[in-house]
Amino acid sequence: MISRMRATLVLDDAIYKQAKHLAVNEGRTLTSVFDEALRTYLKQRLQDPGFSIRDVAAGSGGMLIEPDRVKEMLDLEEADRQTRAMAAGGPSDRRRA
């Protein structure tokens, strides 16, 4: 049995759109596209002996943002994005699939 973990990712809009387009064209889920992409990337990178993955598990001292602050950080980022969009005269909402 494959175990699954839920994660919140902040992605560049262009990457999200390309992945979503690929998923729709191939009749796949967005999760499967990201899963395949990460597996491929990690397999290639792990073959390089100079590459290492830093432990960012909770309690390891490597966590960059405390889990209870993730929503707050995402809300702040969204507010900043909307402010920049309004200043540029663009739309302030983002479509989510």
User: For 24-51, how does the pLDDT look when each residue is reduced to its tens digit (9 = 90+)?
Assistant: 999 999 999 999 998 888 887 777 766 6
Q: Cα dihedral sign for 47, 41, 76, 74?
A: negative
The verdict on 49 and 72 lying in the same domain is: no
Burial of residue 82, with CB atoms counted within 10 A of its CB: 0-12 exposed, 13-18 middle, 19 or more buried: middle
User: For 39-89, how does the pLDDT look when each residue is reduced to its tens digit (9 = 90+)?
Assistant: 888 887 777 766 666 665 555 555 555 666 777 777 778 888 888 888 887
Is 0.85 topped by the overall pTM?
no
Residue 29, CB-side half-sphere exposure with 13 Å CA sphere: 3
Within-domain flag for 97? no
Within-domain flag for 96? no
Q: DSSP alpha helices (H): ranges in the chain?
A: 13-26, 30-46, 70-87
The verdict on 68 and 34 lying in the same domain is: no
